[in-house]
Structure 1
Amino acid sequence: MPINGIQMQKGLSLPEFIQLYGSEQQCEDALQKARWPQGFRCPKCHRQNASTFIRGKTRIWDCCHCSHQASLTAGTMMHQSQLPLTKWFLAVYLVTQLKTDIAALSLRRQLGITWKAAWLLKHKLMEAMRQRESGRPLSGDVRIDDAYLGGERNGGKRGRGSENKVAFVAAVEMRDGLTHHQALHLLFEFTQRI
């Protein structure tokens, strides 16, 4: 059986991730570049001229044209979160690294946050991934793999046939031997059971 090119892709190692996103400032810079690649643009009037100031620990952009104020996380799933960006970024890394999913309990341990915060964070990330992929169908050379999420209960059936597990399918569109586009399709019941 040939080596699966998708599984053997070079990823971002944990040391590389920490080097790129290990500080709050690095995460802020990366988020700012992702949100406003050509510099701040007011979400209300779409102009670019703004002054900045710090309120508490949060940098605020104040539009010079319409006086609308926005923060780096305003309008995102991180809006009004008390978690530092370093924990959000690490959560994204951890949620996207494992084929078999990561439990909220494990995420809690890895991030050093409460179980409730880990559960909410994980579900926000999964919903964002679902929304992002919902309107982008795959075509051409599509490679698919399946997995099952969920835990084992005492006395229950193990493996694929377990009533405690929900199937999901991951698919990748390949172009010129490289990953072009990825999709993750979770069964609806999965979000209802966790």
Structure 2
Amino acid sequence: MKEIDLIQDLCIPDEERAMDVFRGIRWANGVHCPKCDSLSIQKRGMQGKSKRYSCNNCGSNFSDLTGTIFANKNIPMGEMFYILNNLDKKSIKRLSEELNHKWETINLLAKEFKENLTEKAKDPALSNEVEIDEMYHSVGSKGIKKKNQEHEG
């Protein structure tokens, strides 16, 4: 009972809710085959909390998680959301203690999330007319005096 109270205090979404949110984002434009992009899909039931599908076009089988950073993970989706939400706020040690997972597991997951999210992040595309003001910012005078004295002497 104590562990359940801790999880509720940490604001970790329950598994069903987390998967519903994930599906809503992943399949916002409808379930499509990750291999051929076909929308001609047949539902094949559930595997754990993930829905399974078959493509009527190319015949491949896939799930909600196929081809995502969440695929093949042994940590519940709600906990992965919690980790993603807190990577910049809490240490790996604290996350591992709160979620009762090994430090190595959380560290590996955090590293994978950071690598994948950084790789796929795109700089915003600017279009039309863009105005940028110049701004010079002094970072301080430390080292400037010493440098000037060296040149004078």
Is 1:27 matched with 2:14? no
Q: Does 1:108 align with 2:99?
A: no
Q: Which residue in the other structure is 1:83 paired with?
A: 75
- SS of the aligned residue for 1:26 comes to helix
Identical-residue share of aligned pairs (%)? 22
Alpha-carbon separation, structure 2, partners of 1:58 and 1:110 = 25
Q: Which amino acid aligns with 1:36?
A: W
Unaligned runs of 5+ in 2: 1-7, 127-131, 134-153
| Residue of structure 2 in register with 1:47 after alignment | 38
Larger radius of gyration: 2
Q: Distance in 1 between matches of 2:98 and 2:48?
A: 27
Residue 129 of structure 1: how far off its partner (Å): 3.0
CA distance in 2, matches of 1:138, 1:65: 34
Check whether the contact 2:54–2:60 (CA below 8 A) recurs between aligned residues: yes
Once the two structures are superposed, residues 147-170 of structure 1 have per-residue CA deviations (whole angstroms, 9 ceiling, x without a partner) of xxxxxxxxxxxxxxxxxxxxxxxx
Q: What corresponds to 2:54 in structure 1? A: 62
Q: Distance in 2 between matches of 1:137 and 1:54?
A: 38
Query: Displacement, 1:124?
Result: 1.4
Please state how far the C-alpha of 1:137 moved relative to its aligned partner.
5.9
* C-alpha separation in 1, matches of 2:125 and 2:56: 42
Q: For residue 66 of structure 1, what is the amino acid of its counterpart?
A: C
- Does the aligned pair in 1 maintain the 2:42–2:53 contact within 8 Å? yes
Gaps of 5+ in 1: 1-14, 142-194
Q: How many residues align?
A: 119
Which structure 2 residues correspond to residues 143-162 of structure 1 after superposition, within 5 A? none
| Distance in 2 between residues matched to 1:48 and 1:137, nearest whole Å | 29
TM-score by length of 1: 0.54
Q: Secondary structure at the match of 1:59?
A: strand
Ranges of 4+ aligned residues in structure 1 off by more than 3 Å: 55-58, 137-141
Q: Summarize the Cα distance change of 1:56–1:35 in structure 2 as closer, same or farther, 3 Å threshold.
A: closer
Residue aligning to 1:136: 123
* 1:37 Cα offset (Å): 0.6
> Among residues 51, 66, 69, which one is paired with 1:74 in the alignment?
66
Root mean square deviation of aligned Cα: 2.6
For residues 102 and 70 of structure 2, the distance between their equivalents in structure 1, rounded to whole angstroms, comes to 16
SS in 1 for 2:62: strand
Q: For residues 33 and 56 of structure 2, what CA distance do their matches in structure 1 show?
A: 9
- Counterpart AA for 2:15: E
| Counterpart secondary structure, 2:87 | helix
Judge conservation of contact 1:91–1:111 (CA < 8 Å) in 2. Answer: no
Instruction: Give the counterpart letter for 1:88 in structure 2.
Output: M
The residue identity in structure 2 corresponding to 1:83 is: I
Measured in 2, the distance between the counterparts of 1:38 and 1:56 equals 24
Q: From the two aligned structures, give the one with the greater helix fraction.
A: 2
